[in-house]
Structure 1
Amino acid sequence: MTDKATLTIGDKSYDLPILKGSTGPDVLDIRKVYAESDHFTFDPGFTSTASCESKITYIDGDAGILLHRGYPIDQLAEKSSFLEVCHLLLNGELPSADEFAKFEKNITYHTMLHAQFDAFFQGFRRDAHPMAVMTGAVGALSAFYADSINVDDAREREISAHRLIAKMPTIAARAYKYTIGQPFVSPRNDLSYSENFLRMCFAVPAEDWKPNPVLTRAMDRIFILHADHEQNASTSTVRLAGSSGAHPFACIAAGIACLWGPSHGGANQEALEMLETIGSVENIPDYVQGVKDRKYKLMGFGHRVYKNFDPRAKVMQKTAHEVLAELGHNNDPLLQVAQELEKVALSDPYFIDRKLYPNIDFYSGITLRAMGFPTNMFTVLFALARTVGWISQWKEMFEDPTRKIGRPRQLYTGPTQRDYVPVDKR
C-alpha cells in the first residue's frame, strides 16, 4: 500500500502519495493538488521541489556526498577518466574495454568542426567574451548538423550527444584563440580528450607543443569534477527548454547562457579575485574580520547544496598542489594566501557554526590560472565539462514516457482586472 500524507485546507482534506527514491528524502506527490483543491504550491527557487525523477546524479548535501550513477565522485576523479565518466553518465554503467574503445573512437572522430564553421567566428568582435562566443556557436551547430536534430529518433539523439561532447573542446579552444588573436589549432586523433583540448588552446605555429602528463591529468580531473551536479540552475534550464521538444544544440546553448550568470558559473573567478584582493598572508586577519563585519564576502566557502563539505574540494585541492609543484609555483603568493585562509576559516567558530567549508571553486581558480587560462575562460571550461551532464539529463528526460512540457505557475500579486482609459483622460 502506497504511503500517503494528508493535506488539510479549511474543512477539506486531500491525500498526497509519498514517493520513495532509492535513497534520499521521500517526496510528496502534489501533481493533483491544484485539480482537487484549486491551490498551487509556492516554492521560489524550487529549493523544496523535485522537478523530475532521475537516475543520474545524487547529492546528500548534509553528508557531503556526490554520486554519479552510484559511484562516489572522489573515486571517479582519482581512478577514472573523463570520457569513461561521460559513458557512465550517458549510458548508466561504466563501459567494458571494448565498449570504451568504441565510445572513445566515436568521440575522437567527431572533434572536428565543419570547415565553414570557422568562418562563423569571424562575425564576433575580437574582444567578445568567450562565453558570448560559446553561446552563439553552440546554438549554431544545428545549422551545420541538421541531420541529427530529430529528437524522436534514438539514433539521432545519440549522434547529437556524441557530437556535443566531442566538439565542445574544439569550440571552446577556438573561442579562446579568437579572443587573443591566434590561429585556430585543429584537433588530432592520436591525443586524449584533455590532451587535445590543451593543445588546441596553447599550441602555436612557431614552436612544437609538448604535452605535460601532470597538466593533462589535472585537466581531465577538473572535467570530471564538473561533469554533472543534479538539478541545478543550468541543468534545469536544459530540461525546461528540452521539455518543449527543442533539439539538444538549442538546449545546451540555453544551459550555457544560464551558466554564464555569476551566481552559477562564476564562483571560481570570484574566489580567485578574492585571493588577489587579499594579496598576502599578512592581510588575512583584516579580511576575515571584514567578512564578519559584512564588509567583504568570503568566496569559495560554503555551498547552496553542501551543508557539510564539498566532496569535490579535496580532490581539487590535491590537483592544485600537483599542478603548482609541476610548474614550480609552490611559492605562489595566492596559494599561500589560500592555504592560510583555509586554515583560519576551518578553525574559526564563526565559519564553523555557519558551515562555511571550502568548496571546489576555492582551489580551481588558482589551478586554472597556473595552467595558463585567463579568468574569462573559467566559465567556458565549466560549460565544456558540464555538457555531458546536460546532454545526459536531456536524454533521460526524452526517454521518460511521462515527459510533459514545463509550465511553472505563479503567485500573482499585480492589479486585478481594470478597464482601459484613453490617454487624454489619464
Structure 2
Amino acid sequence: MHDPKSETATLHAGGASMQAPLLKGTMGPDVADLRGIQQNLGIFSFDPGLTGTATCTSKITFIDGDAGTLLHRGYPIEDLALNASFTETAYLLLYGELPTTPQYQAFQADMNTHRLLNEQIRNFFNGFRRDAHPMAILCGTVGALSAFYHDGLDISQAEDRDLSARRLIAKVPTIAAWAYKYSIGEPFIYPDEEMSFSENFLHMLFARPGNHYRVNPVLARAMDRILLLHADHEQNASTTTVRLVGSTGANPYACISAGIAALWGPAHGGANEAALNMLQSIGTREGIPSFLEQVKDKNSSVRLMGFGHRVYKNFDPRAKILQATCHEVISELGLERDPLLDLAKELERVATEDDYFVSRKLYPNVDFYSGLILKALGIPTSMFTVLFAVARTVGWVSQWKEMIEDPAGRITRPRQLYVGETKREFVSMSDRG
C-alpha cells in the first residue's frame, strides 16, 4: 500500500515541519499519513464527523460518489444485484471471492442450520412490552446471544470468528421476524431450512400456523435485492461503530448490537421511513406542486426525502435497480391504483423533470424505492430499519473480521479539541455561599 519513495505532503506548525507520506490505495484518492503529527509537530488534526479522515484500510467495499460507483470486492453492485443472490454476495463479502458451486452449497447448508435460535431466547421476548419498537428488541436480543453461544467467542481463533460471523448472518433474520410477530401478537414461525434466505425471511414474517403461506417468487426476488443492495456501504456510521467496539476486543455479538444501535438513528437508517412519511404528508397528486415549491424555498425547513445522497453526488447506482424492482412488485400485486404508490410515481416523474432538482443532481435514491417496495409487501414502517439491519449484518461481520485480522489493528482512541475551563482552584462548599 505504501511506497517509501512515494509522494509526501509537507506540514508546518510553530516553526516545525514534517513529511506526511501519501498512502496510495488501489482506487480512490491518496491519503496523507498523519500518524506522526503529534510526535513531530505537537498538534492533532481536527475533523468533526471524520468525513475527511480514513480510519482504516479495507479490501471490502469501494465507493466513488462522484462517478456513482459501488464495488464489492471489485464487483460492480449492478452486476451482483442482477446476477447473484444475497447469499452469494454474503460469501463474497466474507471471503473475498465469489463461491464455486460446492462452496456455495456448503455455505448455504451451514447457514440454514444456524437459523434456529436457542429455545430459551423465546423467553427474552416476553420481557418486552407488546408495543416495544422492533429495533429495541433486535438490539437487545442480538447483544444477549453471547450468553447462549459460548463457543465461537475466542476471537483470536479464525474458526471462532468464522462461526460467529455465520451465526449472526443466519440468526439476525429470525430475531427480526420474531420481533415483528411479537409486536402484532402472532405466534413465532420457525425457520425453514428448505427455503432460500429471502424466502425463509418472508415466510417467518407472514406465515401463520395452520395457514399455508406460499412465498411469491417475485416478492422473494425483490426482498433478496433489497437485502443485497444494503449489505455493505463502506465506512458509514454503523460500520465505524462496529469497528470501534471491535477494536476493544469485545465479543462479536456485542459489536453487531452496537452497530444496530447506531443504525437506529434517524440520520442513518431511517431514510426510507422518512420518505414514506413525506409522501403521506403530501397527501395527493394535487399537493405535489406546492410541496416542491416549499422544498425550493431557502427559508423553508421542508426537505425532499429519498432524493439525493450524501456520498453519491451524481446518482445512486442502487436506485436504478430498485426502481425496476419496485415497478415489478407493484405490478405483481396489482397496486397500480394504491394512492400512496401512485403518488410516489407522480412525485418521481415531476421531480426528475424539474430543472431545479436535475441541476442539483437530486435523483431518487435507494431509500425512496426500498420504502415503497417494503410498503407494497405489507411490512410496517417500524420494521424498515430492522430490514436494513438484517441486510447490513453481512457487511458488519465482514468488516469486523477484517478489522480483527489486521495485524496493524489497535484500539480506537480519538483525541479532542478541549474548550472547557482551564485549571481552577477548588473552593470548599462553605466558601461558595
Q: TM over 0.5: same fold?
A: yes
Aligned residue in 1 for 2:135: 131
Aligned residue in 2 for 1:197: 201
Cα deviation per residue 1:369-397 (whole Å; 9 max; x = unaligned)? 11010000000000000000000000000
Aligned residue in 1 for 2:410: 404
Question: Are residue 12 (structure 1) and residue 16 (structure 2) matched?
Answer: yes
Mapping for residues 156-305 of structure 1, pairs under 5 Å:
156-293=160-297, 294-305=300-311
Question: Are residue 61 (structure 1) and residue 65 (structure 2) matched?
Answer: yes
Distance 2:250 2:220 in 1: 35
Distance 1:46 1:389 in 2: 20
Question: Are residue 87 (structure 1) and residue 88 (structure 2) matched?
Answer: no
Cα deviation per residue 1:85-124 (whole Å; 9 max; x = unaligned)? 0000000000000110110011011100011111111111
Please state whether the residue corresponding to 2:151 is helix, strand or coil: helix
Gaps of 5+ in 2: none
Distance 2:195 2:28 in 1: 40
Equivalent residue in structure 1 for 2:317, among 311, 315, 327: 311
Aligned residue type for 1:260 = W
Mapped contact 2:180–2:383 kept (Cα < 8 A): yes
Mapping for residues 138-153 of structure 1, pairs under 5 Å:
138-153=142-157
Identity score, percent = 61
Please state whether the residue corresponding to 1:312 is helix, strand or coil: helix
Distance 2:416 2:363 in 1: 35
Mapped contact 2:228–2:391 kept (Cα < 8 A): yes
Aligned-residue offset at 1:304: 1.2
Aligned residue in 2 for 1:330: 336
Aligned residue in 1 for 2:50: 46
Distance 1:140 1:99 in 2: 30
Equivalent residue in structure 2 for 1:21, among 25, 46, 53: 25
Question: Are residue 341 (structure 1) and residue 371 (structure 2) matched?
Answer: no
Mapping for residues 109-120 of structure 1, pairs under 5 Å:
109-120=113-124
Aligned-residue offset at 1:336: 2.4
TM-score, length of structure 1 as denominator length: 0.98
Aligned-residue offset at 1:171: 0.5
Aligned residue in 1 for 2:363: 357
Cα deviation per residue 1:13-72 (whole Å; 9 max; x = unaligned)? 210000000011110000111111110000001110000000000000011110000111
Equivalent residue in structure 2 for 1:102, among 99, 106, 110: 106
Aligned residue type for 2:356 = Y
Distance 2:164 2:375 in 1: 32
Aligned-residue offset at 1:189: 1.0
Moved more, 30-39 or 2-11: 2-11
Distance 2:226 2:279 in 1: 20
Mapped contact 2:17–2:40 kept (Cα < 8 A): no
Please state whether the residue corresponding to 2:129 is helix, strand or coil: coil
Equivalent residue in structure 2 for 1:122, among 126, 148, 158: 126
Moved more, 350-359 or 412-421: 350-359
Distance 1:347 1:320 in 2: 20
Distance 2:91 2:218 in 1: 23
Mapping for residues 376-415 of structure 1, pairs under 5 Å:
376-415=382-421
Gaps of 5+ in 1: none
Distance 1:200 1:7 in 2: 57
Distance 2:87 2:220 in 1: 13
Aligned-residue offset at 1:414: 0.6
Change (3 A) 1:10 1:347: farther
Aligned-residue offset at 1:314: 0.6
Aligned residue type for 2:424 = R
Mapped contact 2:169–2:393 kept (Cα < 8 A): yes
Distance 1:321 1:274 in 2: 20
TM-score, length of structure 2 as denominator length: 0.97
Aligned-residue offset at 1:205: 1.4
Aligned-residue offset at 1:424: 2.9
Aligned-residue offset at 1:223: 0.3
Moved more, 383-392 or 360-369: 360-369
Aligned-residue offset at 1:412: 0.7
Moved more, 200-209 or 216-225: 200-209
Aligned residue type for 1:330 = E
Aligned residue type for 2:408 = T
Distance 2:238 2:309 in 1: 16
Distance 2:67 2:349 in 1: 21
Distance 2:400 2:206 in 1: 32
